[in-house]
Amino acid sequence: MNASSPHSKLDKIREKVEAGRRLSAADGDYLFRDDVDLHAVGELADLARQRKSGDIVYYNLNAHLNPTNVCIYRCALCAYSRDVDDPGAFTMTTDEILARGQEAVDAGYTELHIVGGLHPDKAFEWYLDIIRNLHDAFPRLHLKAWSAIEIARFAQIARRPVRLILEDLIRVGLGSLPGGGAEIFAPEVRSEICPRKADAQSWLGVHRAAHQLGLRSNATMLYGHIEHAEHRVDHLVHLRQLQDVTGGFQAFIPLSFHPENTRMAHLTKASAALDLRIMAVSRLMLDNFDNVKAYWISLGLGTAQTALAYGANDLDGTVRRELIHHDAGAGSPQSLTVDALRAMIAEAGREPVERDTLYRRVKRDGQQWTLA
């Protein structure tokens, strides 16, 4: 029986999706096969998306802030990090950081997405103060900050449990956790692409603790390097399991690996076909996630817009000042205007809706905004 014959595996998967039943890991493996029609997989994902969010596609107004690129981990996947003495190493001052907050507020942005490197000379208090200073100065700006890798490291250097680290951060103004650092959970892949990073259990443990404290968070998966389909499915199943327990994830963001300027520069970037298949299979497997983001910085504008027909219901965002993907050769623009974002969504036949970080609707008059 081939992939498209009547009563094929794909038909059985279609029946499950139509009935709103959960797909198995074996279903996920199957959908990742090259000989399974991409458009058919996309159509199923589109049905799953339509059920969750109808015609709405969310976008938000955000900027990125990377306070330092100095990092002791120096992952093979990373084009962004530097050693302390390297040319191009930087660590921002408090004034520079506050100026970025002011810039975001002046532009009417609702969110600052803050992640950086693990600096050998900075204590947890340095990272804590970044949140405190920004929140004190700009209390309406949502601070989505520090990946689970950073939180796990803070716990190590401060010799305190993750829960207490998170409580400190919440107390000074942390709004939510971004989804970075998940990469691929499988240890045989992790040991090649980011051997020093916190492992899967730590990443999941940080998000579990955050959810238990009432923080919402996101989840990512970095693909298009040395991983195989079974690693992606394993990754998605781990996320789905934790979401079953906590319900604290807001969005999933598949991230397409950009090899340029990394120690894996010999690899070729994933094709648009793989980008779209991963978007679709993610939407189908993560039946308990409300939102799947097309991160245009990583996908490029064309593929991100097409991804809206392959399961994505969120186009992140204005994304001013992004460094991590651009340092790795992302050819996408530095930022998008709101008009451009809205036009991309409308052109795809969907209704653009501005959200804040917690997926509440935003009512806007130029730079002024309130929750709708």
Which residues lie near ligand SF4 (CB under 6 A)? Answer: 71, 73-75, 78, 80-81, 117-118, 149, 194, 197
CB 81, min distance to ligand SF4, A:
4
Q: How does DSSP assign 313-365, residue by residue?
A: -EEE---BT--HHHHTT--S-S---HHHHHHHHHHTT-EEEEB-TTS-BEEEE
CA distance linking residue 39 with residue 57, whole number of Å:
20
Q: Does 31 bind ligand V47 (CB under 6 A)?
A: no
Cβ closer to ligand V47: 68 or 262?
A: 262
The residue within the footprint of ligand V47, chosen from 67, 101, 173, 178 (CB under 6 A), is: 178
Judged by CB under 6 A, how many residues of this single chain contact ligand V47? 23
Q: Does 150 bind ligand V47 (CB under 6 A)?
A: no
Q: Does 257 bind ligand V47 (CB under 6 A)?
A: yes
Stretch 294-323 residues interacting with ligand V47 (CB under 6 A): 295, 298, 316
Please choose, out of 72-80, 129-137, 270-278, 343-351, the segment that lies near ligand V47 by the rule CB under 6 A. Answer: 72-80
Cβ closer to ligand SF4: 149 or 308?
A: 149
Tokens of 349: 């036949």
The residue within the footprint of ligand V47, chosen from 112, 276, 328, 353 (CB under 6 A), is: 328
Collapsing DSSP to helix, strand or coil, 361 comes out as: strand
Cβ closer to ligand SF4: 75 or 255?
A: 75
Which DSSP state fits 309? Answer: T
Angle at which helices 38-53 and 9-18 pack, to 10 degrees? Answer: 10
The residue within the footprint of ligand V47, chosen from 173, 180, 254, 300 (CB under 6 A), is: 180
CB 243, min distance to ligand V47, A:
15
CA distance linking residue 88 with residue 95, whole number of Å:
20
CB 153, min distance to ligand SF4, A:
9
- In the chain the first and final C-alpha atoms are separated, in Å, by 52
Amino acid making up residue 114: I
The residue within the footprint of ligand V47, chosen from 132, 258, 320, 326 (CB under 6 A), is: 258
Cβ closer to ligand SF4: 40 or 76?
A: 76
CB 258, min distance to ligand V47, A:
4
Count of H-run helices and E-run strands, the chain: 15, 11
Binder of residue 255, out of ligand SF4, ligand V47, none (CB less than 5 to 8 A by kind): ligand V47
Where are the extended beta strands (E) located within the chain? Answer: 56-59, 62-65, 111-114, 142-145, 217-223, 249-256, 291-295, 314-316, 351-354, 362-365, 368-371
Tokens of 240: 């789905």
Q: Does 77 bind ligand V47 (CB under 6 A)?
A: yes
CB 35, min distance to ligand V47, A:
27
CA distance linking residue 161 with residue 174, whole number of Å:
17
CA distance linking residue 36 with residue 234, whole number of Å:
19
Closest CA to 155 of 144, 145, 169: 169
Closest CB to ligand V47: residue number? 180
Q: Does 28 bind ligand V47 (CB under 6 A)?
A: no
316 φ/ψ angles, rounded to the nearest 5 degrees: -85, 120
3-29 burial: b if 16+ Cβ within 10 Å, else e: eeeeeebbeebbebbeeeeebeeebbb
Binder of residue 262, out of ligand V47, ligand SF4, none (CB less than 5 to 8 A by kind): ligand V47
Residues making contact with ligand V47 (CB under 6 A): 77-79, 147, 178-181, 183, 218, 220, 222, 253, 255, 257-258, 262, 295, 298, 316, 324-325, 328
